[in-house]
Chains A and B, each alone.
Chain A
Amino acid sequence: MPSADLAVEARGVHKFYGALHVLRGVDLDVRRGEVVVVVGPSGSGKSTFLRCLNHLEAIQQGSIRVCGDLVGYRETARGLAELRDAEVARHRRRIGMVFQQFNLFPHLTAEGNITAGPLHVLKESRESAATEARRLLALVGLPEKAQAYPAQLSGGQQQRVAIARALAMRPEVMLFDEPTSALDPEMISEVLDVMVALSKQGMTMIVVTHEMGFARAVADRVVFVDEGRVVEDTPPAQFFTRPLTERGRAFLDKILH
């Protein structure tokens, strides 16, 4: 049964790409306000899982609920049926997503990127969308960049605008897919700082990242994924000092040297 204080409930999620079995029964609960960091070797399925959470990828088995509602599907007598595009789009409104490659709309200014959703999806007025965009740009530390195009921004600045764009939809959950992996080292902290601030405001966040410092400082739980399954799900203090499994230990050895 869906529970009221759960932001995300994934049950037995299976995902295939043709014959490739990427997710092999993933279960994950995330409470409201919780920050969950997902780690794992490349190819373990962690990014795919994140993309399933807002139905950028279809799943073949299991179920995903966000704030109690199924994402991308509806229940029928014979199981789950995929919804039509417009209904899936409505489900995605409450789930913000930040991508490794930023994916800002290059033909729109920073403000245009942030207001695109509120204007064209939520049908807000131009003034209120622009006011909110300026508030969000200030929040991510870029109040003077409203009229800048993505090509005129550094990677770190682009990613902060991307975070503001996701926040403009007033999401219940924010998904971060390796948000700092494409950044030059000196720009990583400016993005992480925004994410830390966001977590302090009580945002529910699921973060796929290799930034172990961030995981240690901010995460409520670290979820270790390997070969399409959740292998460990523990507080960071436990995971980084006494991982429960041999695979977890081997992974930590590799990334912490």
Chain B
Amino acid sequence: MGGWDWAAFQKYLLNPYLLQGAWTTVWLSLTVMAIGLFLGLAAALMRMSRHRVPRDSARFYIWLMRGTPLLVQLIIIYTGLPQVGIRLTVIQSALLGLGLNEGAYLAEIIRAGILSVARGQFDAARAVGMPYWTMLRVVILPQAARVIIPPLGNNFNGLLKTTSLASVISLEELLRRSQMLIQLEFKVLEIFIVAACYYLAMTSLWGMVQRRLEAHFGRPYGPSEGRPLRAVEGTLLEQDAR
């Protein structure tokens, strides 16, 4: 029993091995978010389609991803799929599993955002001759962004930590590297506290980015920030249910 070791804590705080793990967590989260946004937008638009086939396939995708644990999805993709001849690397498996999962949650957030835009905005965009994609890009999504960003930021905050699940398929992100370092040097508390500090630093940094994004998309609406937004409730707390 050595007690708390300040010197070790300070040493690990700038440990390049752990810092690289933290960097892996950052780029993994950013890449997964990009994949998730793409899948989420596609699934949200499909769910709102007039046609049955895209609507039902999107609903099935969301149902499947949100109805099974991410841990199970990751293990199936990395450990299970080789049994049927599909071999993916650790990184590919992590991106696929986390991306598919994130997309399903973001789909509902994006759909809520689009539904929050007034019907008259669609009419006005069409009346000036905008085709569907132009209407989405120029008129609808920039307005939906204001509603989407708070729960989306909540999701990204969660994602920074959820990526640690990829450690079970041996992806060397922050948690995995912390555990590996502990097996060499036995400083359990110091190393895990350092890992926790890194996670806190990442989520705090993201918090600042998110506030800027919210201010940017809220600016045209004047000095009424903090005003409750339509359609945000209901999506906000889904992260906790994972």
Footprint of B on A, CB under 8 Å? 51, 54, 56, 85-86, 89-90, 92-93, 95-97, 99, 101, 103-109, 116-117, 120-121, 149-152, 162, 165-166, 168-169
A-B contact pairs, 14 of them (CB 8 A): A56-B126, A89-B132, A92-B127, A92-B128, A97-B127, A103-B123, A105-B125, A105-B143, A107-B146, A108-B220, A109-B220, A150-B220, A162-B124, A166-B127
Which chain A residues border B134 with CB–CB below 8 Å? 89, 120-121
CA distance A151 to B128 in the complex (A): 21
Contact B143 A106, beta carbon cutoff 8 Å: yes
Cβ–Cβ contact B120 & A101, under 8 A: yes
Bound-state Cα–Cα, A105 to B142, Å: 10
Task: Using known A-B contacts A116-B139, A151-B221, determine if residue A103 contacts B131 with beta carbons closer than 8 Å.
Answer: no
B interface residues (Cβ-Cβ under 8 A, vs A)? 118, 120-121, 123-132, 134, 137-139, 142-143, 146, 217, 220-222
Contact B221 A121 (CB under 8 A): no
In the bound assembly, the distance between CA atoms of A162 and B131 in angstroms comes to 19
- Which residues on B sit within 8 Å (CB–CB) of A152? 222
In whole angstroms, what is the CA distance A166 to B128 when docked?
7
* Contact, CB under 8 Å: A56 / B121: no
Q: A121 touching B129 by the CB < 8 A rule?
A: yes
Residues of A within 8 A of B118 (CB): 103
B220/A151 in contact, CB under 8 A? yes
Q: Write out the residue numbers on chain A whose beta carbons fall within 8 Å of the beta carbon of B128.
A: 92-93, 116-117, 121, 165-166, 168-169
Chain B residue contacts of A117, Cβ below 8 A: 128-130
Contact of A89 among B124, B129, B138, B220 (CB under 8 A): B129
A61 to B225, CA, bound (A): 48
Chain A: which residue is nearest B146 at the CB level?
A: A107
- Taking CB atoms, residues of chain B closer than 8 Å to A86 are 131-132
Contacts A99-B123, A104-B124, A107-B142 known; A89 to B221 CB distance under 8 Å? no
**Complex: chain A residue closest to B135, CB-CB:** A89
Chain B residue numbers with a CB within 8 Å of A95 are 127
List the B side residues contacting A165 at CB < 8 Å. 124, 128
- Also in contact, A103 and B129, with CB within 8 A (given A116-B139, A149-B220): no
Which single member of A85, A103, A107 contacts B124 (CB below 8 Å)? A103
